[in-house]
Structure 1
Amino acid sequence: MSATKFDLPYDRLNPKDIERYAKDLVGKKFSDLYIPEWDDKKVFGSIGNKGHLGQYLERFYFMYEPNSSKYPDFLEAGVELKVPPLKQLKNKELRAKERIVLSIIDYNTIVEEKWEESSFLHKNNLLLLVFYLHEGGKDRLDFVIRMVTLWDYDEKDLEIIKQDWHKIVNKIREGKAHELSERDTLYLGACPKGANCGSTRKEW
């Protein structure tokens, strides 16, 4: 079950309004958002799996069905939702705990793409980042959301990402996908997706 586009508490067409609504998450635990009557797909019970915190927010806060589409999560606004963890250092500063996985590289299709029309750029052109603090020993649903921001690329970063994309794609076109390494690039990195991802799919 989910809300219809007519009664959502935010405007799915407006990136800034999506950000406004998302900022109300700051200071909340994931468990604060749970709506039992909406849990027909048992999302709550499967929250132990990596990645499900994002799906949890999609369903119980943003009120749309999680999916694995190649398009942005908020399609009409061109906004992709990412829910990365933070870690707290001994000096109390917060740092990213791990890389942010942006999308899946499909070797069979990416060789036909151009950067300006690439699936990567289309999906990740504008990111809604919802950061939570990972604390060892706590239930994942008790993690607290600490920061929310709508993030797009400045010209310098986008140019570096473009160059990284071309390096990765050219290597795939040359039949050297098995040689891809995060050392090849500055920002984007091609990394294996799980132990059973096979030879035609990686994350970046």
Structure 2
Amino acid sequence: MNNSQYDKSSVNSIYNFASRLEGKNLIQSADLPTNVVNSRNRGDLGRLVEKYYFCHTPPNNREPDFADAGLELKTTGISDYKKPTKSGEVIKAKERLSLTDINYRTIQHEQWESSTLIHKCNLMMILFYKYNKAVPVIEQYFAMKPLLVSILSSKLKQTSEDLDFIEKISLRISEDDLEMIRKDWEFIRQKIIDNKAHELSEGDTFYLGAARKGSGGENESLKKQNESDIGAPSRGFSFKQNFLTKLVQGHSKNLTSIGVGRTLTFDEATSLKFDSFIGLSEAEISRELNYSTNSKSRKWLLASRILARSGQKILEFEKAGILMKTVSLTRQGEGREHMSFPAFVSMELATQDWQDSDFANQIENKFLFVVFQEDENGEDRLIKVLYWNMPYQDRLEAERVWEDAKKRLQKDAKDLPRSTESKVAHVRPHAKNKNDLDISPQGEMIVKRCFWLNKSYIAEVVK
């Protein structure tokens, strides 16, 4: 394969050449050196595609990969891919889509429309491969045609021929989503200007994230901030995993929008839904909604129907990966229940690094807390709703608990951090029943466990 088979200055030509990958893997599509084939390479498929399929070396600067065409190339995995049905293709992004590195020292001088992010990624061609953990990257199959995505159409500078082509086949990010992405970018930029880059979290924002880029761990080299002696881990802009999934899937009939976009923020749109229910008891909310249930998840189901009377999932929540959780307080304002996360696999936890751990990713989510409190008559009443993501110092404490759990797990899987040992988090059982078991590093069968946020901590958060 050689680059004479396509024109590096033409979006149309590059796209058509990339389309030949559909249904094939890299071994079938490119002349790979013997050492690459024999290594059963598990590295970066995107770089291998650029080097061996496109025979192209991208510029080592902030220009798009195909600078002459103004086109950035991205390669990412998808899972749960199914053939098209009447309702469309079923696609789930394997991970967030990395866009470009964040320069803590120069972003303060940037404006959104002329930013490094827009300059490099305003027009992207995304190649999707069907992720299969069991096989090397060079044997992963490209599952669909490339996807052209344009962010700011007004800033496209391609030739008139390419602009016509882009207009016909590209996926345009909606104005509402674009406004939210701009606000996310502004939030991240302002936090860096305030010398708080070390406090950045993916839970800070909704669609555009500031994802960790470094190797992690205590040996990671930290980046200098402008006016702070505190070093910050490397981060890069990314489209969040859920946003990428919904971007590719399009708007499903099974999702309801709450109107977030150019005119309403997440807080405003959510308040419009909940305000008329604040102060009502569970029974009163049920009557207002004409919905009754005896489920243990009754509060959560009522909250879902406040947001969408049909009980459908919320489009904006699906895009942003927002987790809605109900919180129950006693009459005195104390938490009734610890807050659980999915059960972990002990053998995996014992070998993970914090940065790559499930718990680290889980606490970087953004949450919507729907808060009920018992009144003087013993009835639970809806008192408030709020968006929340875990503050930096509390994330450090959660990391300490996780590291302690990992260390103790390798010695005695039954002796893990308790709720009395941290103000933030602990470990306790989280199994469906007594037969829902996990194997410990010591080879014992034990009941599954998970990390929990302490009920006293959650009560403080929602005060």
Q: CA deviation at 1:116?
A: 2.0
Deviations 1:42-101 (A, max 9, x none): 66548322xx21111111111112554321001011111110001127999431111111
Task: Tell me if structure 1 keeps the 8 A contact 2:81–2:130.
Answer: no
Aligned-residue CA RMSD (Å): 2.5
In structure 2, relative to structure 1, the CA distance for the partners of 1:77 and 1:66 (3 Å cut) is closer
Q: Is the 8 A contact 1:108 1:200 kept in 2?
A: no
The equivalent of 1:74 in structure 2 is 66
Deviation at 1:197, TM superposition (A): 5.2
Count of residue pairs brought into register by the alignment:
195
Contact 2:31 2:52 in 1 (8 A): yes
Distance 1:31 1:61 in 2: 10
Instruction: Choose which of 168, 171, 188 in structure 1 pairs with 2:208.
Output: 188
Structure 1 residues 191 and 35, CA, compared in 2 at 3 Å: closer, same or farther? Answer: same
Q: Does structure 2 retain, via aligned residues, the 8 Å contact 1:135–1:143? A: yes
Partner residue, 2:7: 11
TM-score after normalising by structure 2: 0.39
Superposed displacement of residue 136, structure 1? 2.4
1:168/1:124 CA distance change after superposition, 3 Å = same
Q: How high is the sequence identity, in percent, across the aligned residues?
A: 35
Runs of 5+ consecutive residues of structure 1 not aligned to the other structure: none
Task: Choose the corresponding residue for 1:156, options 176, 185, 204.
Answer: 176
| Equivalent in the alignment of 1:133 | 130
8 A contact 1:55–1:66 mirrored in 2: no
The counterpart of 2:193, out of the listed 173, 176, 180, is: 173
Q: How does the TM-score come out when normalised to structure 1?
A: 0.84
Q: Quick check: 169-178 or 83-92, which moved more?
A: 83-92
Aligned positions of 1:6-155 closer than 5 A: 8-36=4-32, 39=33, 45=39, 47-49=41-43, 52-66=44-58, 68-88=60-80, 93-147=90-144, 148-153=146-151, 154=173, 155=175
Distance, in Å, in 2 between the alignment partners of 1:124 and 1:197 is 26
- Structure having greater relative contact order (Cα 8 Å, sep ≥ 6): 1
Q: In 2, are the aligned partners of 1:85 and 1:98 still within 8 Å (CA)?
A: yes
Structure 1 residue 117, shift from structure 2 partner: 1.7
- Structure number with higher strand proportion: 2
CA contact (8 A) 1:107 1:200 kept: no
What is the distance in 2 between the residues matched to 1:48 and 1:63? 20
Distance 1:80 1:11 in 2: 15
Letter in 1 for 2:136: D
Structure 2 CA distance for aligned equivalents of residues 24 and 140 of structure 1: 18
Distance in 2 separating the partners of 1:188 and 1:128: 18
| Structure of higher CA gyration radius | 2
Matches of 1:141 and 1:29 in 2, distance apart?
Answer: 6
Asked whether the equivalents of residues 43 and 56 of structure 1 are also in contact (C-alpha less than 8 Å), the reply is no
| Structure 2 residues not aligned, in runs of 5+ | 84-88, 152-172, 223-231, 238-463
SS class of match (2:47): helix
Question: Are 1:85 and 1:97, in contact at CA under 8 Å, matched by a contact in 2?
Answer: yes
Given residue 191 of structure 2, which amino acid in structure 1 is its aligned partner? K
What is the identity, as a one-letter code, of the residue corresponding to 1:82?
K
Q: Distance in 1 between matches of 2:105 and 2:40?
A: 31
Cα offset for 1:156?
3.0
Alignment check: 8 A CA contact 2:26 2:53 kept: no
**CA 28–197 in structure 1, closer or farther in 2 if over 3 Å, else same:** farther
